[in-house]
């Protein structure tokens, strides 16, 4: 892959000069642009720091009162120092902003991450770690921003699909993960949720959560539970894939979602269509698919997600830490 693209991009965005980089990071909201001293509560100031990898740190110029037995309290300089990375995506790392951003850029371009590691001058361990950290951002972002689709006058196709592979050639034992999903015709807005069970309750709960009342829903699955649709204020048309791709009586079809499934499956590496990595892969598909649809810049969108997940003003509370599945 062409390294010069990422180099050029980074030169403009995250140059070698540490002060410009710091200003950029603050301006983009990726690190905090102000800091209160955790010791004395004074507003801290940015100062050049030889010890810091970033060349700067938050320094406290405030005073604290030190109480002493049988003497007047003594007023002393606080001198507390805080990393500019506090509470950010970059905290705890011994890698430069530039290195992390270069790696994230490769991650967002869906390019081989071992090559991304080379471009970012990462160790193999760092490649593994930062792949996880990037995955965490996507997972946390996607599952916090899962919004309902459809509504009056809108058409939504729903389906369920097994992501996985047959265990043997006979094809009787199937390992994998069931996914319930829907896609809005015309806009391509979608939701995808891994489901542990395929029963009435599961369908009811997910439809209530993700499909707005008044929607015309098309499906070929869940026919046994068709009474759910009127209960939720949804109109429902059935298609039967085993007979006709398009129901000749009603004209109902689910081609939109069939094509979504196809792309989702193709984007998931075979080994990751099951197992604990599944939720991550699904979230990545949903996240990057939306950007592609809107012709957005995946890297810029990723950094927006970083900002949402790691609000540098607040300690991050991740729902998904490393590769823990949404459904376990």
| Residues that bind Zn ion in the complex, under the rule CB under 5 A | 37, 39-40, 42, 60, 62, 78, 80
**HSE of 266, CA atoms in CB hemisphere, 13 A:** 7
The least CB distance from residue 303 to Zn ion, in Å, is 31
Q: Which is nearer to Zn ion, 39 or 258 (CB)?
A: 39
Main-chain phi, psi angles of 206, to 5 degrees: -75, -35
Q: Which is nearer to Zn ion, 59 or 159 (CB)?
A: 59
Tokens of 155: 């058409």
Alpha helices in 145-222 (DSSP H): 200-210
Place of tokens 């699955």: 221
Beta-carbon contacts of 184 under 8 Å, excluding residues fewer than 6 positions away, are 149, 150, 154, 155, 156, 190
The least CB distance from residue 44 to Zn ion, in Å, is 7
The least CB distance from residue 12 to Zn ion, in Å, is 36
The least CB distance from residue 315 to Zn ion, in Å, is 19
The least CB distance from residue 40 to Zn ion, in Å, is 3
- Residues 64, 62: Cα–Cα separation, whole Å: 7
C-alpha pair distances (Å), 159 with each of 165, 178, 208, 222: 18, 10, 15, 9
Q: Is the Cβ–Cβ distance between 228 and 203 less than 8 Å?
A: yes
The least CB distance from residue 80 to Zn ion, in Å, is 4
Q: Which is nearer to Zn ion, 62 or 188 (CB)?
A: 62
Q: Give the CA-trace dihedral at 282, 284, 285, 291, to 10 degrees.
A: 150
């Amino acid at each position: 892959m062409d390294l010069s693209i990422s180099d050029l991009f980074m030169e403009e965005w995250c140059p070698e000069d540490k002060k410009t980089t710091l200003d950029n990071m603050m301006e983009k909201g990726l690190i905090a642009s102000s800091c209160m001293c955790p010791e004395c509560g004074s507003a801290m100031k940015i100062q050049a720091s030889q010890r810091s990898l970033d060349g700067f740190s938050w320094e406290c110029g405030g005073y604290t009162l030190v109480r002493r037995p049988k003497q007047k309290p003594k007023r002393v300089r606080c001198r507390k120092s805080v990393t500019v990375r506090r509470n950010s995506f970059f905290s705890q790392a011994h890698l430069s902003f530039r290195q992390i951003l270069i790696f994230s850029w490769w991650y967002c371009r869906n390019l081989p991450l071992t090559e991304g590691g080379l471009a970012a001058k990462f160790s193999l361990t760092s490649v593994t770690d930062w792949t996880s950290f990037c995955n965490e951002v996507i997972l946390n972002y996607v599952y916090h921003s899962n919004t309902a689709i459809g509504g009056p006058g809108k058409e939504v196709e729903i389906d369920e699909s097994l992501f996985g592979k047959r265990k043997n050639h006979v094809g009787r034992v199937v390992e994998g993960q069931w996914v319930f999903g829907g896609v809005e015709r015309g806009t391509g807005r979608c939701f995808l949720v891994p489901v542990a069970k395929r029963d009435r309750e599961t369908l009811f709960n997910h439809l209530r959560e993700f499909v707005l009342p008044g929607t015309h829903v098309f499906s070929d699955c869940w026919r046994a539970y068709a009474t759910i649709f009127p209960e939720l204020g949804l109109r429902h048309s059935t298609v039967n894939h085993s007979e006709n791709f398009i129901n000749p009586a009603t004209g109902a079809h689910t081609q939109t979602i069939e094509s979504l499934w196809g792309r989702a499956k193709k984007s998931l590496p075979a080994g990751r269509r099951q197992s604990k990595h599944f939720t991550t892969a699904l979230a990545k598909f949903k996240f990057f698919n939306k950007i592609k649809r809107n012709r957005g810049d995946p890297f810029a969108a990723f950094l927006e997600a970083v900002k949402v997940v790691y609000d540098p003003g607040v300690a991050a509370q991740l729902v998904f830490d490393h590769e823990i599945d949404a459904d376990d």
